[in-house]
Amino acid sequence: MSSSLSVPERFRAGILLVGRLSDESYQQLLIALTNAPECRTRQELLAWLKDETKLIPTKNREQIICALSPMLRVQRSAKVTTQRFAQDVWNSLTENSPQLAKGVDGEVFQRRIADLLKQNSLDLASSRVSAARTDVEKLFCKVRAFTDLRPVFREDVSSPVTEMVILHNFQFGYHDGMGKHHEFYLTLDTSDLRALKEVVSEAEKRAEILTELMKPTSISMHK
């Protein structure tokens, strides 16, 4: 049966390390996450875990936490049990990366993932901020600009060209709500560029004003 969840490729090796940990190493990780203080970023959490999970190599620890933290956000957003989510993760891994999952005990993996995702210490503020930024219909990815000279020909195309137009072709990239990449193109002239600069400048000023308004509060602003 095909899984409705697709684990991003960049997280697959890291999350599978959970299933490859020795029982002692896994228990060390579970206890450490249970006792961990509230951390804002992954770096803070990793710094705290360093002395608490000495049986796990630093690189492996980083890969595991890097995969677990965003998965917790997905699991809670989906409003499914950690057991069901762990099963979906395993199904996705065995379907999409069977060679990578080879040698990992599926039952052990699912049980460990389900228990780890119950740890609130993985619910990092930085992950919540990232989720708030990316939970949109169309998420900006990149932009490129190509500037061209377009000759203006007369009716008699053999006549000398005496007029040229400068045009700026913008290539915008974005991801939709399912993470699929799309692109579209938009052509602007110099007056269009000035109008765009004014709008961007106004948006930046609004961000500064809102930041100043929130300074007396305890709310952290992320721009």
Contact present, 46 and 64 (Cβ < 8 Å): no
pLDDT tens-digit profile of 35-53? 999 888 889 999 999 999 9
Rounded CA-CA distance 114/131 in Å is 21
Band of the pLDDT at 157, cuts 50, 70, 90? confident
Residues 6+ apart with CB under 8 A from 101: 16, 90, 93, 94
Q: What is the pLDDT of residue 170?
A: 96
Q: What is the pLDDT of residue 133?
A: 65
Helices (DSSP H) in 118-215: which residue ranges? Answer: 125-134, 190-214
Structural domains of the chain sorted by starting position, each given as residue range(s) with its CATH number in brackets: 9-133 (no CATH), 138-214 (3.10.450)
Whole-model pTM above 0.75? no
Q: What is the pLDDT of residue 38?
A: 87
pLDDT tens-digit profile of 93-149? 999 999 999 999 999 999 999 999 999 999 887 666 666 566 667 888 899 999 999
* SS3 of residue 183 by DSSP: strand
**138-152 and 163-176 beta bridge pairing:** antiparallel
